[in-house]
Each structure stands twice: as C-alpha cells, then as structure tokens.
C-alpha cells in the first residue's frame, strides 16, 4: 500500500510540474512589462478615389434593391477600393502607398459613409507599416475628421485622428481627391 501512495504522490507532483511549466510559458510574474515611449507622427498625403473609367480604383459591390433616385451611392450601397496615396494632389505625383478597404452609404438623408480604411505605406520610413481608420465620414462636408483606431509595423497600437479636406470631386461620376492630415500616436 505504501508503494501506491508514493506512486500517487509522484504522479501528483509530475502533474503539478507540467501545469506550472505550461502556464509559465506565456505568463510570468518575474518579468515586468515595460511600456515603450509614445511617439506622435504627422502624415500628409492625398487619397485618389476613382469610380469612373476602364480601370476604377473603387467599385460598387452591393446596391439596395430599392428605387432611390439618381444618387451615385444610395443608402445601403457598399463599395470596395484600392486607391493610391500620393505626395501631391496630382495622380502623377509620387505614390507613397495605397488605401484598401470599404465604405458603406449609411445615411438616409444626407450623404454620409461609414468607412474602414487601411492605409499601407510602401516607401520611406514607414514602408511596410499601416494605419487603420474606422469612422463615420460625412462626405457632404468639405472638411471632416475620422478616427485612427489601430496600425501595424511602426504604427503598432496606433490611435489618433485624420483631418480630411475634399480637394476635388466630380459630382457626376463620384471621382474624388481628398487631402489627409493625420496625427498618429503610437509606440
């Protein structure tokens, strides 16, 4: 009987050691968390959203099954896009990245979108990094503000805001150029 008790205690000790070791692999009270210093980065670029032509950068993927007049984006419409980001307002200026995402026409009375954008940078100091924007975009206003809710790469744990100003809009086909001034707080 004494051998069985020793075996039971040995098994209990082994299970305790395995459990303790497994928990210690992902969590430790002996290594304190040290936060990195926060940095603030200001970005300036132009967003080119092209709905027209043979090679649009934004396309309508869903439209409501209702009659809503002549609006380019009636309530409930969903667009996806892959738009260039440039240094200047001309499409021929230096491309610094691209914006990918979607926007939904979300207002029944005034033109407004709910937008999810991922701004990926492809050159310079922030090459390979991106910021994420998820916010209401009241496109009828020439100037507006969107929330920066995240990022990756050098913009890990980003937060902040983007101030937008419509530089150009074609009311007939929906093509637009929007100036972005973005303040990003990140680690």
Q: Is the pLDDT of residue 92 over 90?
A: yes
Which pLDDT belongs to residue 107? 85
Q: For residues 23 and 100, which has the higher predicted lDDT (pLDDT)?
A: 100
For the chain, the average pLDDT equals 88
pLDDT at residue 145 in the model: 97
| Predicted pLDDT at 36 | 83
Please state the rounded mean pLDDT for residues 106-133. 94
- 179 has a pLDDT exceeding 60: yes
Instruction: Report CA dihedral (111, 117, 123, 128) to the nearest 10 degrees.
Output: 180
pLDDT bracket for residue 79 (50, 70, 90):
very high
* pLDDT at residue 105, as a whole number: 92
153 pLDDT exceeds 60? Answer: yes
State residue 66's pLDDT score: 77
Please report the pLDDT score of residue 19 as a whole number. 57
**HEC profile for the chain?**
CHHHHHHHHHHHHHHHHHHHHHHHCCCCCCCCCCCCCCEEEEEEEEEEECCCCCCCCEEEEECCCCCCCCCCCCCCCEEEEEEEEECCCCCCCCEEEEEEEEEEECCCCCCCEEEEEEEEECCHHHCCCEEEEEEEECCCCCEEEEEEEEEEHHHCCCEEEEEEEEEEECCCCCCEEEEEEEEEEEC
């Amino acid at each position: 009987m004494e051998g069985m008790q020793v075996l039971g205690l040995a098994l209990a000790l082994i299970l305790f050691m395995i459990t303790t070791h497994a928990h210690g692999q992902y969590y430790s009270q002996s290594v304190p968390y040290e936060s990195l210093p926060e940095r603030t980065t200001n970005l300036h670029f132009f967003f080119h959203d092209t709905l027209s032509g043979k090679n649009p950068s934004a396309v309508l993927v869903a439209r409501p099954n209702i009659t809503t007049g002549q609006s380019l984006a009636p309530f409930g419409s969903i667009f996806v896009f892959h738009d260039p980001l440039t240094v200047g307002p001309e499409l021929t200026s230096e491309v610094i990245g691209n914006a990918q995402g979607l926007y939904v026409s979300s207002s029944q009375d005034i033109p407004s979108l709910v937008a999810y954008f991922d701004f990926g940078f492809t050159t310079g100091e922030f090459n390979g990094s991106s910021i994420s924007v998820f916010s209401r975009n009241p496109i009828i206003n020439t100037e507006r503000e969107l929330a920066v809710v995240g990022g990756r790469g050098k913009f890990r744990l980003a937060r902040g805001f983007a101030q937008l100003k419509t530089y150009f809009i074609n009311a007939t086909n929906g093509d637009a150029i929007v100036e972005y001034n973005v303040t990003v707080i990140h680690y």
